[in-house]
Amino acid sequence: MRNKRLNNVLLLVIIIGVWFFPDTNYAFALTPKEIYQKASPGVVFIFASEGSKSGNGGTGSIIRQDGLVITNAHILTRKDSSKLLSSIWVFLKPERVTGNHQADLVRRYKGEVLAYDVKLDLALVKIKNPDVPLTKVDFGDSNRVGVGDQAYAIGHPEQGGLWSLTTGVISAHRSDYGGVPGKNLFQTEASINRGNSGGPLLDEKAVMIGINSMIARKAADGLAITDINFSIKSEVALNWLGRVGYRLASVKAVPSGTGQKPANEEVETPKEPARPLKEVETPKRKPVKEKKNGKILTRKRPYNMDELIAGMQEMEDLMEEMRGTIEEFRRRRR
């Protein structure tokens, strides 16, 4: 009898806590493993080039199940230019990441750039003719995120493994970065390196609160800088998507234990862009003078892709040989 009363009291306390503190859903955080399992299938590897072995490698997040991907503009543009590279490939995460690039990068699809903004460093890519169900990464509300909150990044860092997970906390906020209106960033200690560009910064519910974009590694006097990484806030990305004709919203928080699923208020938009592809111009603003503690390194060519492309070409040659064998078999049967 006593235990029953105690259980009733505990249940009442939980109900009151949920009623008066609706944000308690954030107290019930997923583990890093659960975050990775939930979000990583919606993270892609992007390779952009002029059809050669040399090009830009980066990361992106599927934001709609018809194949829309958000990423960084600098991955898709030519060196020292705002012009797009001609060849865009998008790779889906395999069922199991083995560490062998030839095995892990077999789910390859052509990509089409729908819109991009060099100043904001945002781009929208469409996976062409996906033939498998796609997992999307939901947007979170970056306005709810504060300094000290946990953050998680998934991407493809230089010299690291594909679909790598790194962890850290939100360190600071930056507004109108570089004098670009509305370019609001998170500073985070979650490790980001070349190749992580365009990938998601996630909160403890595995929703995207930022798009990883820049790193600071070396001060003007040569002093090494560590744990200074920048992500474009999800609010910035959502506002930009709305301006180019794709209206999505962040996940609405619901109290834990209610059985409800978070709702992502997505408004149906045309599958094709509302206007012809062109670079979206962000209004200029006189840069604010600020003390520069380091140099932002967002290189056009994240890392040497020779080995990766050689493996991809070997797979392509093998597939072409198989197609030829099948065609020869069909001819003989006729």
- Assigned domain for 7 exists: no
Q: Which DSSP string do the residues of 134-200 spell out, in sequence order?
A: ---PPBP-GGG--TT-EEEEEE--TTS-TTEEEEEEEEEEE-SGGG-TT--EEEE-S---TT-TTPE
| Domain total in the chain | 1
- Assigned domain for 13 exists: no
- Is the pLDDT reported for residue 280 higher than 60? no
Q: How far apart are CA 252 and CA 181, in angstroms?
A: 26
What local confidence, expressed as pLDDT, does residue 244 receive? Answer: 94
Q: Is 173 a catalytic residue?
A: no
pLDDT band at 36 (very low <50, low <70, confident <90, very high): very high
CATH code of the domain containing 271: 2.40.10.120
What local confidence, expressed as pLDDT, does residue 102 receive? Answer: 85
Q: Is 74 a catalytic residue?
A: yes
Which of 40, 61, 142, 197 is catalytic? The answer is: 197
Which of 40, 49, 61, 74 is catalytic? The answer is: 74
What local confidence, expressed as pLDDT, does residue 54 receive? Answer: 75
What local confidence, expressed as pLDDT, does residue 193 receive? Answer: 83
What local confidence, expressed as pLDDT, does residue 25 receive? Answer: 44
At 241, the amino acid letter reads L
- Assigned domain for 221 exists: yes
What local confidence, expressed as pLDDT, does residue 299 receive? Answer: 47
- Assigned domain for 2 exists: no
Q: How far apart are CA 204 and CA 145, in angstroms?
A: 11
Average pLDDT value for the chain: 78
What local confidence, expressed as pLDDT, does residue 258 receive? Answer: 39
Q: Is 121 a catalytic residue?
A: yes
Q: Which range is least confidently modeled, 64-73, 116-125, 174-183, 296-305?
A: 296-305
- Assigned domain for 88 exists: yes
- Assigned domain for 61 exists: yes
Q: What is the mean pLDDT of residues 275-288?
A: 49
- Assigned domain for 324 exists: no
Pick from 202, 194, 192, 180: nearest CA to 230: 192
Which of 40, 49, 104, 121 is catalytic? The answer is: 121
Q: What is the mean pLDDT of residues 47-63?
A: 89
Do 51 and 43 meet the contact criterion of CB atoms below 8 Å apart? no
Q: Which residues, other chains included, contact 48 with Cβ-Cβ below 8 Å and sequence gap of 6+?
A: 55, 56, 58, 75, 76, 85, 87, 88, 89
Q: What is the mean pLDDT of residues 243-257?
A: 71
Of the two residues 276 and 178, the one the predictor is more confident about is: 178
Q: What is the mean pLDDT of residues 293-312?
A: 48
Count Cα atoms within 13 angstroms, Cβ side, for 76.
29
Of the two residues 91 and 26, the one the predictor is more confident about is: 91
For residue 217, the enclosing domain spans 31-310
- Assigned domain for 20 exists: no
Do 72 and 97 meet the contact criterion of CB atoms below 8 Å apart? no
